[in-house]
């Protein structure tokens, strides 16, 4: 076996082992959230092109978007809990593990900065994404380490953050450097905004659920293997590739919509 074949063999074994260690129901649920995200952004793009404003006039879409985002964020916390439980099985937690989460969060936050730049060029300085879902997830991953071993404390803290977010929404603040926390200025306009208060509370709820349902990084309940059913297998595959799908789905939607709307004479 030459070096290239040996390397390919190792890569295939590594991928197989990584996939076997994943929980299909978690990936599938994330895949459902991805489908919901694409559907919501498709409806929003119809508004962007002036076709319909139902994304804002029909209350259904407000709740649809909230359920989609909440599912994503809960799964962020749940996945963090699973990875933490697995990491400490053979090695005590310490700075090495904290640094791993900081690095992971920084990578995701970096993609958020790419989105900020792209939306600044496309939408201008008023509407560009300052602290959207990727900025939030990256920051949450980097800050989550002190909370990863708790269950019920995270539930309490999550409730407090949720209540705190509701209170903050009643006021405006001339503190532009704290927008990422939830201190919104008057007339704040945004297309994607997930402040730490209250949304980090959803991450803590997810961590609590992960520590309850996946103690020691293993499933603590029985669940049938549905991955052989093609729709579920497709959702699982999408769930394992959520970041690239998130980054590419809007350009793909634009590439589909623009020629169709142009042919229909709607552009």
In tens digits, what is the pLDDT along the chain, a chain of 267 residues?
A: 454 554 454 444 444 444 447 899 999 999 999 999 999 999 999 999 999 999 999 999 999 999 999 999 999 999 999 999 999 988 889 999 999 999 999 999 999 999 999 999 988 988 899 999 999 999 999 999 999 999 999 999 999 999 999 999 999 999 989 999 999 999 888 889 999 999 999 999 999 999 999 988 899 888 888 888 899 999 999 999 999 999 999 999 999 999 999 999 888
Which residues neighbour 27 within 8 Å (Cβ) at sequence distance 6 or greater? 235, 236, 237, 239, 240
Read off the pLDDT of residues 240-252 as tens digits, 9 standing for 90 and up. 999 999 999 999 9
Distance of CA 18 to the CA centre of its chain: 20
Q: What is the pLDDT of residue 226?
A: 84
Q: Rounded distance, CA 146 to CA 137, Å?
A: 16
> Is 15 contained in some domain?
no
> Is 171 contained in some domain?
yes
Give the CA distances from residue 199 to residues 42, 152, 203, in Å, rounded to whole numbers and listed in that order.
24, 17, 7
Q: Rounded distance, CA 220 to CA 209, Å?
A: 11
> Is 244 contained in some domain?
yes
Q: What is the pLDDT of residue 7?
A: 45
Which residues neighbour 93 within 8 Å (Cβ) at sequence distance 6 or greater? 84, 87, 149
Read off the pLDDT of residues 103-144 as tens digits, 9 standing for 90 and up. 999 999 999 999 999 999 988 988 899 999 999 999 999 999
User: CA angle, 68 as apex, 107 and 206 as ends, to 5°?
Assistant: 65
- Are 9 and 1 spatial neighbours (Cβ–Cβ below 8 Å)? yes
What six digits make up the tokens of 247?
């980054």
This model's pTM is above 0.85: yes
- Are 110 and 138 spatial neighbours (Cβ–Cβ below 8 Å)? yes
Question: Tokens 């040996």 map to which residue?
Answer: 6
- Residues of the domain holding 242: 23-263
Number of domains in the chain: 1
Q: What is the pLDDT of residue 15?
A: 46
> Is 175 contained in some domain?
yes
> Is 179 contained in some domain?
yes
Q: Rounded distance, CA 168 to CA 107, Å?
A: 29
> Is 57 contained in some domain?
yes
Question: Tokens 């697995």 map to which residue?
Answer: 86
> Is 60 contained in some domain?
yes
**Within a 13 Å sphere around the CA of 116, how many CA atoms are in the beta-carbon half?**
14
Nearest alpha carbon to residue 138 among 122, 157, 159, 115: 115
Q: Rounded distance, CA 130 to CA 190, Å?
A: 8
Question: What values do phi and psi take at 189, rounded to 5?
Answer: -115, 135
Q: Rounded distance, CA 190 to CA 133, Å?
A: 12
Q: Rounded distance, CA 251 to CA 119, Å?
A: 12
> Is 36 contained in some domain?
yes
Q: What is the pLDDT of residue 126?
A: 87
Q: What is the pLDDT of residue 5?
A: 52
């Amino acid at each position: 076996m030459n070096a290239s074949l040996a390397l390919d063999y190792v890569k295939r074994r590594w991928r197989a082992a990584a996939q076997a260690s994943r929980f299909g129901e978690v990936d599938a649920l994330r895949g459902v959230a991805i489908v919901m995200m694409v559907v919501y952004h498709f409806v929003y793009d119809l508004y962007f092109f002036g076709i319909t404003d139902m994304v804002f006039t029909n209350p259904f879409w407000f709740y649809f978007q909230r359920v989609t985002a909440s599912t994503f964020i809960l799964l962020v916390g749940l996945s963090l809990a699973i990875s933490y439980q697995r990491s400490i099985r053979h090695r005590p937690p310490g700075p090495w593990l904290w640094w791993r989460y900081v690095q992971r969060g920084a990578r995701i936050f970096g993609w958020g900065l790419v989105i900020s730049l792209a939306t600044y060029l496309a939408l201008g300085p008023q509407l560009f994404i300052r602290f959207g879902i990727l900025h939030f997830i990256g920051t949450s991953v980097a800050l989550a380490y002190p909370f990863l071993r708790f269950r019920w404390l995270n539930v309490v803290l999550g409730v407090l953050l949720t209540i705190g977010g509701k209170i903050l929404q009643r006021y405006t603040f001339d503190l532009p450097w704290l927008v990422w926390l939830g201190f919104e200025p008057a007339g704040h306009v945004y297309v994607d905004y997930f402040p730490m208060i209250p949304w980090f509370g959803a991450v803590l709820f997810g961590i609590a659920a992960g520590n309850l349902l996946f103690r020691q990084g293993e499933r603590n309940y029985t669940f049938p293997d549905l991955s052989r059913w093609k729709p579920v297998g497709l959702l699982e595959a999408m769930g394992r590739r959520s970041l690239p799908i998130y980054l590419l789905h809007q350009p793909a939607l634009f590439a589909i919509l623009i020629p169709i709307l142009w042919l229909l004479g709607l552009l």
